[in-house]
Amino acid sequence: MCTERPAVLIGKPWARYVPSPDAPWNLQRVVHLHRRAGFAATWSELQRDLKDGPNASIDRLLTGRTRCDGVPQDFVSTADTLAIRAGSVERLKAWWVYRMMFGPDPLTERLVSLWHNHFATSAAKVGMAVHRQNEIFRRFARAPFGELLRHVIHDPALLVWLDAPANRKEHPNENLGRELMELFTLGFGHYTEKDVKEASRALTGWTVDEDKFKEDAGLHDPAEKTILGQTGHWKGDDLVRLLLEHPATSERLAFRICELFMGDGATDVGGLKSLAAGLREHHLDIGWAVETVLRSEAFFANANLGNRIIGPVEYVVGAVRALELFDPAPSTLILAEYISNLGHDLFYPPNVFGWPGGRSWINSRSAIGRCNFALALAAGTELGRPMAFDPRVVAQRHGRDGDLAAIVNFYAELLLGVVPPGMWRDRLLKALGPKLVADVPTSRQAVALVLASPEAQLS
């Protein structure tokens, strides 16, 4: 089932990664791959990928075969039931967290999150319509962008969110036209105010009827319009075509892909332009771009390790997975609440720009919130889970049991990919108290400290 795509040479920026002494295929890189392209991994998954090398590991991620732990037999039916029975946006959040935690395809879920941010639509205005939108994101997460865009923009959630039904021939409403250009395709600076007005005219007639997209000719302004220098009797779908053809769209998509997989300072203008050019050659195929980046030397370079802040969802879900808290698992409702308290209220983006991410995930409140989550997780029973957590059991399972230092080493390698150099471990051990006995309470505190450490906020 491995997708065979013809190798396309697009120049040095995205040359393929080959392990070398400078960039060896080691545990740090395996953890890095799973942190960026999924929600962390269990020790078994990490060791398997370490043994099998980068190509096979990435193959598994791309084909939804990467998880060997914690995917229930009845995942699909359970997920479907949870979705059908959701009934409220709070339960829908729990459904999505369930998918991220237990589904076989974490890479797709990361992309769903990217699209949720890109097309930021709030349930505060459109209610449960965000569910169908979320499924569209999932279905077309890695498709050519035109397919995703057309489906999203014909879906009631976005149409209602951006007041499409109110945009009429006699009285245009600029909301949809503006955000379509500024946020979903070209980006700011590649169009004029006149373009926005003309685009809005092209979109007149797009409305929602009986919870479905409807193109109402009676509301449409059929006269000539000039958009981005091109004149014609443009309708909504023509506008979409013009926007997809414009090179700025490929650049914005390249930016989004790099925002997800590449960290601070790891991509330069040349890299972005190269990726954008490649997207244009491949009909804006997101799957192609994702694979290109993940298999690249740049992705695995030293400069791209530990330079990206782990967002709230990845932090929470990743921690639960790495600690193998599958059965019984914490309550997905409670996890969704923690994620929200850390600043990522799923389905409720703060505004049309979504969540800025990066450094903005870290402030006093979210820092304390992450620490409190680490403490709660290590305790085990705080998150709606009936059983307490014994960190030594997981360490034992993988032959890494021992004294407190051994426990800290294991969890640091599991969660961070490597034990941070210098005094990190000694300082942590000192903070655990005078008696360094690896009993259950102290082991829990040790795991909490590793998880709450500044190093654990970066991937």
Partner 1 sequence: MFNRRDFLRTSSLLALAPTVPAFLTAAARAAPPQRDGRVLVVIELNGGNDGINTVVPFTDEGYAKNRKSLRLPANQLLKINDQVGLHPALRGAAKLLESNRLVIVQGVGYPNSNRSHFQSMAIWQSGRMRPAPDNLGWLGAALDGGSSPADGSPAAVLSGFDNLPLALGGRHCRAAAMTRLDDLVLHGSVDLQRAFAAHDTADDLKSFVRRSFLDAYATADRLRAVVGTSDRGAAYPQTQLGERLRLVAQLLKGGLGTRVYYAIHRGYDTHYAQIPTHSMLLGELSGALKAFLDDLAAAELAERVLVFCFSEFGRPVQENGSEGTDHGTAGPVLLAGPHVKAGLVGTTPSLTDLDPHGDLKVGLDFRQVYASVLEDWLDLPSKPVLGADFAKLSLFRS
Which is closer to partner 1, CB of 183 or CB of 294? 183
CB of 358 to partner 1, least distance (A): 9
CB of 395 to partner 1, least distance (A): 20
The mark string for 177-216 relative to partner 1 (x by CB under 8 A, - otherwise) is: -x---x-----x----x-----------------------
Choose the binding region for partner 1 from 64-72, 132-140, 292-300, 423-431 (rule: CB under 8 A). 423-431
163 binds partner 1 (CB under 8 A): yes
430 binds partner 1 (CB under 8 A): yes
CB of 91 to partner 1, least distance (A): 20
- Joined tokens for residue 459: 């991937």
H or E stretch at 226: strand 225-227
- Which residue is associated with the tokens 């390249």? 254
d(CA 165, CA 215): 10
SS3 209: strand
**Single-letter amino acid code for the residue at 48:** R
391 binds partner 1 (CB under 8 A): no
Helix runs in 380-423, H state only: 391-397, 404-416
Contacts of 262 (CB under 8 A, 6+ apart): 293, 298, 299, 304, 308
d(CA 5, CA 2): 9
CB of 455 to partner 1, least distance (A): 7
CB of 140 to partner 1, least distance (A): 26
Alpha-carbon radius of gyration of the chain: 23
CB of 117 to partner 1, least distance (A): 13
Which is closer to partner 1, CB of 70 or CB of 306? 306
Contacts of 197 (CB under 8 A, 6+ apart): 172, 174, 177
CB of 160 to partner 1, least distance (A): 10
Residues near partner 1 (CB under 8 A), total: 58
SS3 302: helix
Q: Which of residues 252-271 bind partner 1 (CB under 8 A)?
A: 263-264
237 binds partner 1 (CB under 8 A): no
CB of 204 to partner 1, least distance (A): 9
The mark string for 286-315 relative to partner 1 (x by CB under 8 A, - otherwise) is: --------------------xxxx------
Nearest to 300 by CA among 86, 66, 22: 22
Question: Is 70 within 8 Å of 102 (Cβ atoms)?
Answer: yes
Among 350, 393, 437, 439, binds partner 1 (CB under 8 A): 350
Among 356, 390, 403, 439, binds partner 1 (CB under 8 A): 356
How many other β-carbons are positioned within 10 Å of the β-carbon of residue 418?
Answer: 16
Alpha carbon separation from 436 to 38, 433, 441 (Å, rounded)? 34, 7, 11
- Joined tokens for residue 449: 């400290």
- Joined tokens for residue 148: 């995703």
- Joined tokens for residue 33: 């791959």
Q: Which residues bind partner 1 (CB under 8 A)?
A: 163, 166-168, 170-175, 178, 182, 188, 193, 263-264, 306-309, 343, 345, 350-353, 355-356, 359-368, 371-372, 375-376, 379, 382, 423, 427-428, 430-431, 445, 448-449, 452-455, 457-458
